[in-house]
Amino acid sequence: MNPARTSVHGARTGIGRAHAKSILLGEHAVVYGAPAIAVPLHALDLTVRVSERADEQLHLRSALFTGFAADAPQRLHPLVTAIHAALALTTSAPLGLDVEIDSAIPFERGLGSSAAVAAGIARAIGDLTETPLDPEAVHDVVMAAETIAHGRSSGLDGRAVASDVPIRFRAGEVTPVPVGAPLTFVLADSGHEGSTAEAVGAVRELRETFPSRVDGVIGRLGAIVEESLDRFATGDVPALGALMDEAHGLLTELEVSDATLDRLVGAAREAGAAGAKLTGGGRGGCVLALAPDAARAAHLETMLRDAGATRTWQTTVETA
């Protein structure tokens, strides 16, 4: 037997991994068919371990809950959905499972935590049962979970947490984004939970009330994504940062920013960031700032923490 599939207690064990993502440009507009760009956050990852149980129980261990799945709170329902969706793709799944999630990804911060958990679960169950799950099968599991977590989902998170390179996403179509020079970003946690479902619903209501205005904003957000592709390809940091700044202003028009996010964006710009914006659904969550170069990223982190960020991280998108 493969040693990686044997726990210290002798039960078969499977392991699955995934990482966080950040939407660089195009959030909210992507829901209406416009393109978006997401970058991988390799510094924020998770590992899922699944092991056989002698009984027929499904037991969970995570930072949010430890206990039997039948007793899990509602916020864990996407996780349970992912387990059942992955098991449905196998032919040799055990009747009882221990599922342990060790995650460094902050939850409810717009970083794809629920999608990453679902992807990790799918890969772990595939590993446990020696069932080859191709990327589309893993994505199906993620989408089943995301529907429970967020309602209508564009599918972007599921693709982004499974990609090791930046991607352009539009209406389910994914293409890698060429990067001409390393780009260093600083991610700052506002300290407030964000609800993607709530923010998406609020934009939908705003669009119903002011359709021409909102459609104009959505159209410009999509155009910014397309303009950014050349900036990525040439490694043009100032131009890419300027597009991030414009995108934040447009997201503010969609009423998904808030005072804390605006304060952190302002602090990043004052600290010398090439550009800064909220990332994800907004109304809480995180801010993403583009450092002028890697050497100045630490200064950006310090200034963002001084401005009230509860946590900060660095990530570098390498050339591709």
The domain spans of the chain are 3-173, 178-317
pLDDT tens figures, 226-275: 999 999 999 999 999 999 999 999 999 999 999 999 999 999 999 999 99
pLDDT tens figures, 121-145: 999 999 999 999 999 999 999 999 9
Q: Catalytic residues, which ones? A: 157
- Averaged over 267-291, what is the pLDDT? 95
Superfamily holding 178-317: GHMP kinase, C-terminal domain (3.30.70.890)
Tokens 């397309």 belong to residue? 226
What class has domain 3-173?
Answer: alpha beta
- Judge contact between 118 and 48, C-beta under 8 A: no
What is the chain's mean pLDDT, rounded?
A: 91
- Averaged over 74-96, what is the pLDDT? 89
Residue 177 has pLDDT above 80, yes or no: yes
